[in-house]
Amino acid sequence: MSQIRTFLTGATTMASALAAVFFLSGAREPIRHEKFDEITVGRINIVEPDGTKRIVISNKAQFPGDFMQGKEGARPDRNSFAGMLFINEEGTENGGLIQKGSIAADGKISSGLSLTFDRFRQDQALQLMNNDSAAHQTTGIKINDVPLYTVTSLEDYSRFGEAGRKLPKAEQEAYWQKLNEQGRLSNNRIWLGNTRDKGSSLQLKDAQGRVRMMLLVSADGKAEIQMLDEAGKVSKTISPTSKE
């Protein structure tokens, strides 16, 4: 009997010790490596061990809003898209890939795809895009000059918009122009893509977003370089027939 009692006492002590080690070491379930030939899901959240979302892949029905420092905000303008969002370490959206494509009963096309890369806590600095409609198809690359988030935050853009809408229409252009001159707004600096008349264009713009040089090739193959002034007026044109 004493031997049995000694054995049980030892077993109890060992179990208690193992439980203590398990608790103190924060032991987790072992990592499992699963293999699937095919999975069907509505949405996948890729997260860090602490639960921070890093990538969200989703259908249209479950597509998320935007993310800022771990908090998700409403984005009703994304309700028609499926795709993927990139989220950085602090839980802020960092870019994404969104796409849609449909045709209405009246035959109108609504189709588009956009791959974007955002500046930190800001909007997109680089975009590869394609938009297709019954009227026109646009494909291009946009490089944007985006202010540092401490200069203009995403919340500031909302405030600017609200303040601008309250102004008389005659004053709105000057209001936005002043903000632009102060460096508070994002501006497209480079556009490379097609044109409405089936040509192709490379546009180089100044810090205010004004086109200052364009490289153009028309649908029939005519090539030229245009230089523009601050008002958008062509000041010089270089073409194969130029005499300079």
- Residues 87 and 96 sit within 8 Å (Cβ to Cβ): no
- Residue 134: pLDDT band (50, 70, 90) is confident
pLDDT digits (tens, 9 = 90+) for 35-92: 999 999 999 999 999 999 999 999 999 999 999 999 999 999 999 999 999 999 999 9
- Residue 2: pLDDT band (50, 70, 90) is low
pLDDT of amino acid 47: 96
Enumerate the domain spans of the chain: 37-146, 147-176, 186-243
pLDDT of amino acid 7: 47
- Residue 8: pLDDT band (50, 70, 90) is very low
Tell me which amino acid residue 149 is: Y
- Residues 129 and 138 sit within 8 Å (Cβ to Cβ): yes
Which CATH number is associated with domain 186-243? 3.90.930.1
pLDDT of residue 3 exceeding 70: no
DSSP letters spanning 188-225 = EEEEEEE-TTS-EEEEEE-TTS-EEEEEEE-TT--EEE
